[in-house]
Chains A and B, each alone.
Chain A
Amino acid sequence: MKQMPVKKGDILILVLALAIAGILVLAGRRHPQGDRVSITVNGKETLYSLETDRVIPLDTAKGHNQVIIKDHTVYMESANCPDQICVRHKAVSKNGETIICLPNQVFIEVESSKEKDIDN
């Protein structure tokens, strides 16, 4: 990278951004096992227990998603959204972990009934 005019401010931004990311990661680190899952579709929230395995089909005007609760974990089995990011997301089970399907506006969050998350 010859003749690359790196200035003081550039390094400042880099360090600041990494520091903020590090602090945020550390702050959100308390992730004990969750015991229930909140599924929000179009702003409407429904709670499900993680203890019982079940299949949850979600049909909305935005599209179709199928959520599966199995062995105390939640995952998105299928979705008709274009990007399929939610389907590729790994199964979640810890307090505060989320799976989000932006195109269909589906929001899945694992919660703990014993310990409320710091952000809420």
Chain B
Amino acid sequence: MKTKQITQLGMLLSISLVLGYLESLLPVMAAVPGVKTGLANIVTMLVLYRYGGKQAFFIMLLRVTMAGFLYSGVTGILYGLMGGVCCLIVMALLKRCSLFSILGVSMAGAISHNAGQIIAAVLVMENAAIFYYLPILCISGVLSGLLVGYLSHLLIKWHFKNFPQN
């Protein structure tokens, strides 16, 4: 990894932390745990599309861990990691497939992020009834995926024009 790329990724990481913080300031849209816009995922998308899957994975890992220590606590890290890992695996796989545009990749990512968090919650609470939240989180995943996908599309286009070689 070149020094230039390390610096850029470091700055993107701090941007994603700030986005995560801004998001936590937004009023909760529904009284359901896990429903959120996923703004920080815009950075993950940018890194995934412009730098690669490995870089995106490390940024996600660092963001979730740091956000955990800063705001959400140790259980927050567990939920965040489970969601983040599921999300990135699905997004990286779908991105390779030419059938999906960035919108589809982002939607599938958001849904698998929510599914991953539900699995983490089921494991922590040892109670399968949390799966009741799956339909709501499925729909919220579609909506936030569309939003994040569209914003990432604009950002990646801008990034490509201004930093053609990273």
Residues of A within 8 A of B (CB): 1, 4-10, 12-14, 17-18, 20-22, 24-25, 28, 40, 43, 82-83, 85, 88-90, 96, 98, 100, 102-103, 105, 107, 109, 119-120
Q: Are A10 and B100 in contact (CB under 8 A)?
A: yes
A109–B101 CA distance with the chains assembled, in angstroms: 41
A23–B149 CA distance with the chains assembled, in angstroms: 25
- CB contacts (< 8 Å) of B131 on chain A: these are 119
B128 smallest CB distance to A (angstroms)? 7
| Residue in A10, A88, A103, A107 whose CB lies within 8 Å of B101 | A10
Main secondary structure of the interface of B (DSSP, over half): helix
How many chain B residues have a CB neighbour from A under 8 Å?
Answer: 38
Q: Are A96 and B104 in contact (CB under 8 A)?
A: no
Instruction: Tell yes or no: B62 within 8 A of A by CB.
Output: no
B160 smallest CB distance to A (angstroms)? 13
Question: Known: A5-B101, A10-B103. Contact between A28 and B132, CB under 8 A?
Answer: yes
B29 smallest CB distance to A (angstroms)? 12
Instruction: Tell yes or no: B111 within 8 A of A by CB.
Output: yes
Q: Are A20 and B125 in contact (CB under 8 A)?
A: no
- CB contacts (< 8 Å) of B132 on chain A: these are 28, 96, 98
A100 smallest CB distance to B (angstroms)? 7
Question: Known: A7-B101, A9-B104, A85-B32. Contact between A119 and B129, CB under 8 A?
Answer: yes
